[in-house]
Structure 1
């Protein structure tokens, strides 16, 4: 998880340098908005609309600008309300179509903060710098909170109910996950907008702590899921004279319960780090299971 966060931060820093180099040839005609009136105030309806439109953040995902199209779509109604001057709106839209890559679930914090800056008619370069600076931290926090913590917990509870024969398993999973997901999506939108740039020092200070704490919880949950849902054992026996030793019960389980599931899980993780695709890993698991059963060792 730390590697993933550092990688995203390095990518964001490289993109910041690229943006600065490209600024000289940018089509944005000015760094300041022509109309400096700050008489427009976004309402709760505007912020909720922005949060709802953020669901389409990755609808036009591409490898040149990543989420830029969906990002502009998210904040465009608010930009139109803020910027009455046509040139100001054009410059804002052009800047917001630049490269951006942030976690799709906590993106509303950044969009709310950016809209507060747009409403205050901050310089375009300042708004750009804030976007670039927060892409990495928000990506790391989002991965730790949602993919490594919330998803395993909700999926584990839903799968447990489903394995007991309850049709409520997938329903409980979807309800739990999306209650938290949408609560944070809309809540962060309002928090980011009202906190404005005052939230930047707090976020930068606690980013690593939040990610580290969420990673610990998530890894604990994943460890419990491995022991509960990965089933692998061997019927092999060791014969030494008149003694018959069951390899699973008398050796492996004595060393550590669920040693085989743990070993298989770590092997899959190693192959994933070696860039094996999930499809290949699923196929390999099926082949190992079938061959192990036919040979009689699993």
Structure 2
């Protein structure tokens, strides 16, 4: 069957409309379809979220860290906020991304995020705030709980136990968990209230806040690379009687931690090519073992 000029023009117009629709869908993927904000999260909803946060690390893994527990924590509230199935799917997909935060003060972040979800903030803004607060909350949680509260409570409980008192471990558990649960539930409500009151500001300065949060997130990631990625070489360059250590005398002089940075950028580029994090972990182990055996790492 032959097509006339009108058919060809109609086909071209249809293709243009499809291309425009696809472009629009890509732009709109960052926003929720249902922008209504008439849902109210009650104190019971926030308390339920705080209670479910106890399972934050139940599905801990080295690919997405606490992502499964994080989504489990906020999922009932997300279902209440997003009545559109596509919106709920997009929110769940975003919240299954990598996250690693202190398990005791995580409720501040989850309360803040739920306030932003309720206000139908852009997905990229919510993601940026999550990334920006992961590091600071981790540092605060370690200092508050592991370095302050735990030694104090353990010291009191241990001193009673050494004197023969059966109340030593009981006192320790009571003291630690009264503060722990008080902060866990209190921070959940505080984070949600802070997020709700800040929503007008967030809506007015969304781009600036997202940009600032991204900068903070990149700073935290840069610090993590320098602190946790360890890679060095023992190779030496021999020029006559001169012996130059490649790591100390060359690479470190150019820029400290140059090898860890380079390796991190290589891993990042592979992830951008959709290489699985599990495969990257295996590749890292293989390269580390082979490099050690050969003597170059």
Per the normalisation by structure 1, the TM-score is: 0.57
Q: CA RMSD in A?
A: 2.0
Paired with 2:85 and 2:124, the residues of 1 have a C-alpha distance of 19
| Structure 1 segment 89-100 matched on structure 2, within 5 A | 89-100=88-99
- Indicate the residue corresponding to 1:122 in structure 2: 121
Structure 2 partner of 1:31: 30
What does the per-residue CA deviation read over 1:95-141, in whole Å, with 9 as the maximum and x for residues that have no partner? 00000000000000000000000000000000000000000000000
CA distance in 1, matches of 2:99, 2:173: 28
Aligned-partner SS, 1:98: coil
Q: Deviations over 1:178-214 (max 9, x none)?
A: 000000000000000001174999xx9xxxxxxxxxx
Write the distance in 2 (CA, Å) between the matches of 1:59 and 1:168: 30
1:110 aligns to 2:109 (yes or no)? yes
Structure 1 residue 29: Cα displacement: 7.3
Residue 150 (structure 1) aligned with residue 184 (structure 2): no
- The answer (yes or no) to whether the contact 1:28–1:94 under 8 Å persists in 2 is no
2:139 is aligned to 140
Structure 1 spans left out of the alignment, 5+ residues: 1-26, 205-298
Distance 1:124 1:169 in 2: 48
In structure 1, C-alpha distance between the alignment counterparts of 2:57 and 2:182, rounded to whole Å: 20
* Aligned equivalent of 1:165: 164
User: Is 2:69 aligned against 1:57?
Assistant: no
| Residue 130 (structure 2) aligns with | 131
1:28 Cα shift?
11
Structure 1 stretch 71-80 or stretch 29-38: which is displaced more? 29-38
User: Which residue number corresponds to residue 48 of structure 1?
Assistant: 47
For residues 238-270 of structure 1, the C-alpha deviation after alignment (integer angstroms, 9 at most, x for no partner) is xxxxxxxxxxxxxxxxxxxxxxxxxxxxxxxxx
Q: How does 1:1-298 map to 2 (within 5 A)?
A: 30-196=29-195, 198=198
Name 1:268's counterpart in structure 2.
Answer: none
Distance change >3 Å, CA 28–CA 98, structure 1 → 2: farther
d(CA) in 2 for partners of 1:88, 1:31: 10
Distance 1:52 1:129 in 2: 25
| Runs of 4+ with deviation above 3 angstroms | 197-201
SS in 1 for 2:60: coil
Aligned-partner Cα distance in 1 for 2:154–2:168: 9
Give the number of equivalent residue pairs.
176
Aligned partners of 2:156, 2:195: CA distance in 1, in Å?
37
Equivalent residue of 2:76, what SS?
helix
The DSSP-based 3-state class of the residue aligned with 2:160 is helix
Aligned counterparts of 1:153 and 1:66: Cα–Cα separation in 2: 29
